Chain A
């Protein structure tokens, strides 16, 4: 085509586009309509299983496709809240890189052939590797297998083994602690990050929120003290932090125990902070509790149990819901045999050392996996595993409650689950739904009522405590490889939402980095972005440095979950694999590092972390609690008040910074609800991330202050009067509206927004999984501005539902996605026109302020200042 014909064709196209009508659209109704009404979402109760522990969820489905996850308010492990990863669960369902078909040594095969191959091998020397599970269905299958197939041996390849071993030594049985935080006045978190990690995080966060959202200075507050090697969300939310290496924790706890129960243990060397903690613990006898990180050695767990018993901590102890808890011992797993079955998890990646070589020892290797991951690489038979939203099943919550798993969608790519494969070994078909034998009411509730384990009151073994109190000297330089705050042990690596979710503390996206304290970085003459070579366990790993003010000195922290194989398109080549630095059963090892001279550009979402003398995040102590002074607003051309809304609502939000831990569940919830795209590491480096709700963090010395930041829905919005095409306007019920079809992309609004919450579509960002999109929210085109809408689709749907039934809206009926997900209840949404609404009540609390109030923007989002409980020393 030459230039002339091109121009002719262009002119003809433009003319035709302007004159002709759009092509015909087709409507395809169902042939047989299932139990749904098109246009009305359905909600089903199901459960997600993480590390063997179930959390009850309610999943929204539009015409048969699950789009949004919410917590199940009645479920004891959710209480209506979700974590960031749980919010992203639905995206992992639609991952296009999931394994789509059975393959046998690389050649395509079928499920039928795989089942036949399994049946043929069932009588030989068979080994089965399972991830931690609490499923009663699986327990029944394993019992049958052991009774009828003595040639089949079973191992579990993950689980909090150190915690279980600690409980066994202390109490003679494998028990798990659940702290009743609501009854605590002092909570000590030791290297655990209890408020944003682990199977009880939502329960703890709910209780934390209840006890921190103080209405008056006289409310009984909960004081939080963390002892940790690297700053975590719980550390950020705490009143007092003590920095200790992971390898110092046993000695610290032994010293603490010696101070609390003098005479029993040898007198420890002096430690001022530890003595203060001991005094506070004794002062809060019966109302204090200690939580310990699951990966700490068993000795530390024994000491924590002894401590909790010593000052009568309000703790419920129950048997572990996990099958064969305490016997997940991989030391006896030798590889070899005729056949190996890896039925879930990714042990070749998550277990330190060359575990893949051990797996290759078996002649036939059946791997049940969602992805062509590290473990799938050893398979002779690779069988796609069903996603949790595609299958029947059950599992127990942390307290033992039997929670049901029901499918929301037919398997997208086919596949099997571990129950059907174990049944194939038994040579019988298996119908998980029938075997669950639950009635419809239980399925709708999502769990079996009253199925929680009864609490156990064990006796502490004093001899075990004495034996545990011998601490090894701390490591000179400690290399820590904890689970990643957003990606866990790599199980979430291929989920774009979680890759782009900034680490709450470092704001790092799309990768990991070696975290060092400023003093340590200075001592080794490195700074953020410098590449270092870390040597430990006889291995060398290169990683960029990230200096984090809150971390302990002489500790290097490199999280797991990164450095994945190329067959995971989202996760491939993101960050570095920390596995070579790890040792089985040890969360930290001794090591060294040196600078290589190379530099890395890190995709950090928030580069500037100082408040620059503007008090964005304010704090109050309990003694100096008085209302913040009113600021005289600058003169304005805006006419106020706004015209009243016909339905009488004025939407507003209150963010209680005293309850915010920075866990980021709200960020992912917003992304899922509002079809927010991801932009990738290059986009993040250019400051082009699209999150409508972000969590800003500011450093104050070595403390971090968290602040959820979203469109403030200013009554005098600076964005509105600069838009040349009136694409951003104000609704009578107080929303700052964004009209995508009017927007021409001048970005003037963003330049004039003091809160920097407007996001611009620099490109047509791909939504690789279009099925996950919320049909009630427009997918934005290239060249338009977007921002938080207060989930206007939920507001209008709620209003319509109420009007349809000719009734008034109830307070709390309309909840934004962020507020619904928030585990601590830090976000309150509602109508400020109703004086009795929760948001109006929250606005009356005398800790409230508006960010940048001197600008006179009159934001509809108000913040409540952080509360520092107890002596302010060592805390912001």
Chain B
């Protein structure tokens, strides 16, 4: 008996097709396994962009920024001077709200924080990984408007992130700042230390 005849009895004619399909599915699976997390971390779902974030006090930026025309830096005092823009201390809020709406039920958590000396636990909206050392001051003092990264805050009731804050998004601007007086770093140690 020949070897060819033996082969034919072991493997039917459609076996090759099945093998091809199986290999194809496997290959696709591997690609998916690699591509899924790579693309996944960039989705709005994971970066959280576009999701308004509820806060312990229903603070409305529309009211403070658009209606009252308060400068961003009045509350976020570090934006121009420090790496962190900073979240205002309860005392700063109370500076106005001790006089304006001092009885408002909405501001009860604020008063509780002030009189019980307990900090307000805000929920972070813009998150950077911990190996990124972002500095607000250099961006603001070089003329990068707050809204370029934070979006139209004056139209947001609950603030939502508008930027994915991925490295690719940072580099889009760092590579092409569009102004000749800016020299943003595009090398590793510019942001990672």
A residues within 8 Å of B by Cβ?
A: 18-22, 24-33, 37-40, 646-647, 729-732, 735, 737, 739-741, 776-778, 789, 792-793, 795-796, 800, 803-804
Contacts and interface: CB of A to CB of B under 8 A. Distances in A.
6 contacts: A26-B124, A27-B122, A31-B90, A32-B91, A731-B190, A796-B193
B5 interface: no
Q: Is the interface of B mostly helix, strand, loop or mixed?
A: loop
Given A27-B87, A741-B192, A778-B192, A37 B77 contact: yes
A25 B124 contact: yes
Contact of B189 (A22, A737, A800, A804): A737
B29 interface: no
A40 B123 contact: no
B193 A30 contact: no
A776 B131 CA distance: 10
Contact of B190 (A20, A28, A32, A796): A796
Given A26-B123, A27-B124, A31-B90, A18 B37 contact: yes
A804 B141 contact: yes
Interface in B27-51: 36-37, 40, 45-48
Contacts of B193: 776-778, 789, 792-793, 796
Interface string B151-193: 0000000000000000000000000000000010101111011
Contacts of A39: 78, 82-84, 86
B45 A21 contact: yes
A48 B141 CA distance: 38
B65 interface: no
Nearest to B137: A804
Given A28-B122, A792-B189, A803-B142, 11 more contacts: A26-B121, A28-B119, A30-B90, A40-B81, A731-B185, A731-B190, A732-B187, A776-B133, A796-B135, A800-B138, A803-B141
Contact of A31 (B78, B91, B187): B91
A619 B117 CA distance: 64
Contacts of A40: 78, 81-83
A29 B192 contact: no
A29 B183 contact: no
A25 B89 contact: no
A777 to B, nearest CB: 6
B188 A731 contact: yes
Given A18-B40, A804-B137, A29 B82 contact: no
A792 B86 CA distance: 24
A38 B83 CA distance: 8
- Max chain B C-beta neighbours (<10 A), residue from A31, A32, A730: A31
A619 to B, nearest CB: 35
Contacts of B192: 737, 739-741, 778
Interface string B83-122: 1101111111000000000000000000001100111111
Contacts of B114: 31
B49 to A, nearest CB: 11
B186 to A, nearest CB: 9
A5 B172 CA distance: 45
Given A29-B86, A731-B187, A741-B192, A22 B37 contact: no
A24 B86 CA distance: 18
Given A737-B188, A793-B193, A804-B138, A29 B133 contact: no
Contacts of A737: 187-189, 192
Nearest to A729: B188
Given A31-B119, A739-B188, A25 B86 contact: no
B193 to A, nearest CB: 5
Contacts of A804: 81, 137-138, 141
Contacts of B48: 21
A37 B124 contact: no
A537 to B, nearest CB: 53
A729 B187 contact: yes
Contacts of A33: 89, 91-92
Contacts of A777: 193
B150 interface: no
A729 B190 CA distance: 12
Contact of A37 (B45, B78, B119, B188): B78
Minimum-distance CB pairs A-B, first 6: A646-B183, A39-B84, A33-B89, A39-B82, A39-B83, A29-B87
Contacts of A25: 123-124, 127
A37 B89 contact: no
Contacts of B133: 776, 793, 796
B89 A32 contact: yes
Nearest to A779: B130
Contacts of A732: 187
Nearest to A742: B188
B189 A21 contact: no
Contact of B137 (A18, A730, A800): A800
Contacts of A803: 138, 141-142
A27 B159 CA distance: 14
Contacts of A29: 86-90, 119-120, 122
Nearest to B129: A741
Contacts of B113: 31
Given A18-B37, A37-B78, A777-B193, A28 B121 contact: yes
A663 B182 CA distance: 43
Nearest to A34: B89
A733 to B, nearest CB: 8
- Max chain A C-beta neighbours (<10 A), residue from B82, B88, B121, B188: B188
A28 B187 contact: no
Contacts of A38: 78, 82, 84, 86
Contacts of A21: 45-48
